Chains A and B, each alone.
Chain A
Amino acid sequence: MHDINGDNFDINLSEISKIEGAASLEIKIRNKKIEDLKFSISEWKRFYTQAIRGKPAVAIPQLVARICGTCSNAHLLASIEAVEKGFNISPSPQTILLRKLLYYGLIIRDHALHLYIFSLPDIFEKNSILDFDENDSIQHQLLDDAFAVKEVGNQLSIIVGGRSVHAPNPTVGGFIKLPKIEDLKNLKPKLLQIRPKILKLMEIFAEAPFYFKLKSPVTLSALVSSDFSFLEGKIKTSSFSVILTRRIGREESQTIEQKDLENHLNAIIIPHSQARGFMFDGKFLIVGALARLNIGKENLHFKTKKSVSQFLNFFPSENLFYNNLAQAIEILHAIDASCQIIDSFDTIEQEKLMVIKPFETTGIGVIEAPRGTLYYKLEINRDGTVKKGEIIVPTGQNQIVMERAIYELVQRLLDSGAPKDKIIEEVEKLIRAFDPCMSCASHFLKVKWKQI
């Protein structure tokens, strides 16, 4: 619907582009006010939480890796951790280092996909990275950088995991096949080659004229470890009010054991969405790179901290668009931490996988997926089959606050007299800054419907 003054109109975006998976947005505007706004995850469910029931727990990681194409290895490692915790298996120090390497490969290629392919065109006002002008030296260089950076992350994932998507080599207790030491050593110069490219990317995202701050109070949450490995640690929370006051009060920041996370996450059924949203102790929740940098930036690799102190000063930040800058900083950390791990290896030893004697148990695995905290809880029967599974993905945790942020942004734009096209453009940019992953978000089932 349109009218002469532009006070009444509808926005219907059926498939938002340059994000992972399918999402849609419907906004009804009357008299310059939002009458209705629905941000929906429109991926069709594949019912993984049902499908894993009755299957052997040790076979679950390779199945749940198929929940997501891009962060497949996050699902793989979180579910492996859940099975290992359930059966009291402690992976060897070598396995832990190789998993970190595999994961850094994922962080490099997945964040690079988001930053270069999805978000960078917004800054250069292009539809696609493929439209970058080859006769413009800056744009041409960024086009080359995009694929060079992604390729190094891809190669690191392939060398360690056997494949960058649905890696076949990692398994419960260790690796079915180990990487060759010479392949890792040969990759180190390539990792160092992309380092300056990431520094340049950071400058672009630090200087980008995009700024959005929520009015609503928000809790930020992340798994924090002393080496910023994404794979270990305790859950820590913070809030934007902490940023304002620089004061960490008892109610505003807390540390939570991995096993207790589920008690703080309130599942919300969103009637119009194919995916479930979450709040944290009743408050809007943000997970992902912005939360990780706001809460744990001091744990980044020392070389990263030294190189980018000027950008680290931006954190903690309330600017939701700095999720992009935070991701770029995490790529640099992944490069520096990977180089250190590769240097630490003299040999890679064959290690025998242990035989698991199943018993009735429950295992919880929590890691930081590229887009935020990923939680697996597997209840396992005496015969080693899965009785019940609970999987909570980052985009589910961000979904409620994303809709809230879109609402606040649209109302602000309407108040400033922005036309429909401008509103669509700005909303898409904001959604991309969250880096949502719809494939992940729509894997599960919740049958009770209630209005929010």
Chain B
Amino acid sequence: MVNKLKIGWFSFTCCEDSTIIFTELLNTHYKEWLAKIEFVHGRILRKDDTDEIKEMDVAFVEGAISSDAQEEKLKKIRQKAKILVTVGSCAINGSPSNQRNFFNQTQLEEIKPILEKFKYKEKVLKISDVVKTDEMIPGCPMDEKMFLKVLNKYLGL
């Protein structure tokens, strides 16, 4: 049996639009992908049997980083993934999830109690602010054709 490509899909602070596009791509690709891909992580598709991050060939990461806990998880993903692909605008450049980075003093005062209570980071970070990234799939949501191109590259197609 051919070794399947182990992929993980992770969402940080965002609207998860690229997750939805991914599930729509499954509509027409699931037969091909089921034969070639092992979905190691992907909360939208299955419950993880462990809290640990598993070894992956490719990790797709969407969303921006809002907290220290998210930053730690992202670093663990990086350690366990041979290739890390940032997916969508929030992961690649932080926007629009980082809109509070550009708030004026009045807006910042209003959100301060929440930021303090739940221990938000002072600024929202894009993924490459935290870890090294290997590929990016831009768009809001991600560009479907570019996603297929990147995935096919690692599937050896």
List the interface of chain A (C-beta within 8 A of B).
14-15, 17-18, 20-22, 43-48, 50-51, 53, 63, 66-70, 72, 109, 113, 117, 127-131, 143, 147-148, 150-151, 154, 163-166, 274, 428, 439, 445, 447, 449
A44 touches B70 (CB 8 A): yes
A46 touches B96 (CB 8 A): yes
A150 touches B24 (CB 8 A): yes
B46 touches A130 (CB 8 A): yes
B16 touches A130 (CB 8 A): no
User: Is the C-beta of B20 less than 8 angstroms from some C-beta in chain A?
Assistant: yes
A18 touches B117 (CB 8 A): no
Interchain nearest-CB distance for A184 vs B (Å): 19
Q: List 10 A-B contacts (CB under 8 A).
A: A20-B16, A21-B16, A50-B110, A66-B140, A69-B18, A113-B23, A147-B27, A163-B141, A439-B16, A445-B114
In the bound complex, CA of A4 to CA of B70 (Å): 36
Residue of B nearest to A20 (CB): B16
List the interface of chain B (C-beta within 8 A of A).
11-21, 23-24, 26-28, 30, 34, 39, 43-49, 51, 66-67, 70, 96-97, 99-100, 103, 107, 110-111, 113-114, 117-118, 120, 140-141
In the bound complex, CA of A72 to CA of B21 (Å): 12
In the bound complex, CA of A444 to CA of B125 (Å): 19
Task: Tell whether A127 pairs with B47 under 8 Å between CB atoms, given A151-B28, A165-B17, A274-B118.
Answer: yes
A447 touches B113 (CB 8 A): yes
Residues of A within 8 A of B12 (CB): 44
Residue of A nearest to B46 (CB): A128
A18 touches B114 (CB 8 A): no
B23 touches A47 (CB 8 A): no
Residue of B nearest to A14 (CB): B51
Residues of B within 8 A of A72 (CB): 15, 17
A66 touches B27 (CB 8 A): no
In the bound complex, CA of A179 to CA of B70 (Å): 41
A154 touches B27 (CB 8 A): yes
B107 touches A53 (CB 8 A): yes
Residue of B nearest to A75 (CB): B15
B141 touches A50 (CB 8 A): no
A46 touches B118 (CB 8 A): no
Residue of B nearest to A63 (CB): B96
Residue of B nearest to A437 (CB): B16
Residues of B within 8 A of A50 (CB): 99-100, 103, 107, 110-111
In the bound complex, CA of A339 to CA of B14 (Å): 34
Interchain nearest-CB distance for A444 vs B (Å): 10
Residue of B nearest to A129 (CB): B45
In the bound complex, CA of A330 to CA of B29 (Å): 26
Residues of A within 8 A of B28 (CB): 147, 151
Residues of A within 8 A of B18 (CB): 69
B114 touches A447 (CB 8 A): yes
B27 touches A18 (CB 8 A): no
Interchain nearest-CB distance for A15 vs B (Å): 6
Residues of A within 8 A of B49 (CB): 127
Residues of B within 8 A of A428 (CB): 47
Residues of A within 8 A of B11 (CB): 22
Residues of A within 8 A of B141 (CB): 69, 163, 165-166
B43 touches A439 (CB 8 A): no
B19 touches A69 (CB 8 A): yes
A44 touches B16 (CB 8 A): no
Interchain nearest-CB distance for A422 vs B (Å): 15
Residue of B nearest to A47 (CB): B100
Residues of B within 8 A of A67 (CB): 15
Interchain nearest-CB distance for A61 vs B (Å): 14
Which residue from A22, A66, A69 sits with its C-beta under 8 Å from B96?
A66
Which residue from A17, A143, A166, A439 sits with its C-beta under 8 Å from B140?
A166
A166 touches B17 (CB 8 A): yes
Which residue from B13, B19, B103, B111 sits with its C-beta under 8 Å from A43?
B13
Interchain nearest-CB distance for A52 vs B (Å): 10
A445 touches B30 (CB 8 A): no
B23 touches A117 (CB 8 A): yes
A17 touches B43 (CB 8 A): yes
B20 touches A70 (CB 8 A): yes
Residues of B within 8 A of A143 (CB): 30
Residues of B within 8 A of A47 (CB): 99-100, 103, 107, 111
Task: Tell whether A17 pairs with B48 under 8 Å between CB atoms, given A69-B19, A147-B26, A166-B17.
Answer: yes
B17 touches A449 (CB 8 A): no
B47 touches A18 (CB 8 A): yes
In the bound complex, CA of A147 to CA of B45 (Å): 13
Interchain nearest-CB distance for A66 vs B (Å): 5
In the bound complex, CA of A21 to CA of B67 (Å): 16
Task: Tell whether A128 pairs with B100 under 8 Å between CB atoms, given A47-B111, A69-B19, A69-B20.
Answer: no
